[in-house]
Structure 1
């Protein structure tokens, strides 16, 4: 299925015939740039259409309003984070490496500052649909980790879920701090530090050193 943008002399993209899925991806990319730069409330559909190089009617063919466009973009990134965490947990049967991979999944996600800020720093967090999407991402990651801990560590579901919440919270908060602090610690070293803390605890992973 294809659609054609309105003809004109504007930015690249006008008058270019694209498959519907390709046009949708183009619009989401443009919307992300505008939402991250301006925030949801200050973003304008006019600016998004101009950034994408299409007319407003073409934009509205795909998304009936700004909220629907924002939610589509948010869902894309929520699904991405959920997939990255689940793939990390399923990538190995070595639990120490699973912890490392789960932490790395969050660091990799926040390293794309635009996606991370849309999910975790939205100025639309009071919107129920936004809250639901973000919570779904967190819950899916917790459930994936809970299943692994329950199966491999012999813990009951309640205790396994508590540990999973701890790992997700630790990974998310430290990755966000790492990004906001300007990535002063190299990525691989930061992931190693946090995954070691999560795997062994402060006492086991970082014993007191003699002076």
Structure 2
């Protein structure tokens, strides 16, 4: 969370804000509480206090703790998906595209707000609405990667999707491990290692329509 957002999160009670600004303020406060305490230990009282508002104001925007959590989860799932799509569209060089996609996951997990914990490490994964959102964003990210693999290799969609799921899973698991392990490996070095690993695998599939592809046919 930025310094501006943190300032908003401790705004004194009674300050009137436009509805959208108030909602964003509440989401920022909720993120801090949920990341620090987990869903089950967090209380609406804690969130209201962190936001500097009364509980009635909080309930005007979110009818309950679950609805607040889901709104926050939707926001951060969309952020991850946008980052992956942006990375895939950032270049036509496939090795650089792999590196950019890895970097998108690292940047997401490295964010100081800890939003990735709500998506990848939630203590509420048994809640169907949470599970559905987490599974959906993983699928959407994989589908975005799948489109590129299928277009470039000519592999059937089912096979491309299998590879895409693997690339996405490796990216987020390694990024989370890197953060949990205290970033002992320099970030650029970590990205380089992961990119080399994944690129050497995916590069084994020739470009669709290339001379190598024609020779293998």
Give TM-score scaled by structure 1 length.
0.88
The separation in 1 between residues aligned to 2:28 and 2:142, in whole angstroms, is 29
1:53 aligns with 2:29: no
Q: Which residue of 2 aligns with 1:88?
A: 87
Q: Which residue of 2 aligns with 1:39?
A: 38
Deviates more, 1:151-160 or 1:57-66: 151-160
Moved over 2 A (4+): none
Measured after TM superposition, the shift of residue 192 of structure 1 is 1.1
The separation in 2 between residues aligned to 1:75 and 1:201, in whole angstroms, is 32
Q: Deviations over 1:13-67 (max 9, x none)?
A: 3121211111111101111111111111111101100100001111000000000
SS at match of 1:18: coil
Q: Which residue of 2 aligns with 1:6?
A: none
Q: Which residue of 2 aligns with 1:14?
A: 13
The separation in 2 between residues aligned to 1:72 and 1:192, in whole angstroms, is 35
Q: Which residue of 2 aligns with 1:124?
A: 124
Number of equivalences: 193
Q: Which residue of 2 aligns with 1:177?
A: 177
Measured after TM superposition, the shift of residue 201 of structure 1 is 3.6
Measured after TM superposition, the shift of residue 12 of structure 1 is 2.7
Which structure 1 residue ranges, 5 or more long, are not aligned? 1-10, 205-211
CA RMSD of aligned residues (A): 1.4
The separation in 2 between residues aligned to 1:158 and 1:44, in whole angstroms, is 43
Deviates more, 1:111-120 or 1:175-184: 111-120
The separation in 2 between residues aligned to 1:19 and 1:13, in whole angstroms, is 15
The separation in 2 between residues aligned to 1:70 and 1:57, in whole angstroms, is 17
The separation in 1 between residues aligned to 2:60 and 2:102, in whole angstroms, is 39
1:112 aligns with 2:105: no
Measured after TM superposition, the shift of residue 158 of structure 1 is 1.4
The separation in 2 between residues aligned to 1:13 and 1:70, in whole angstroms, is 23
Measured after TM superposition, the shift of residue 84 of structure 1 is 0.4
Q: Which residue of 2 aligns with 1:148?
A: 148
The separation in 2 between residues aligned to 1:39 and 1:158, in whole angstroms, is 36
The separation in 2 between residues aligned to 1:184 and 1:37, in whole angstroms, is 23
Q: Which residue of 2 aligns with 1:196?
A: 196
The separation in 1 between residues aligned to 2:16 and 2:42, in whole angstroms, is 26
Give TM-score scaled by structure 2 length.
0.86
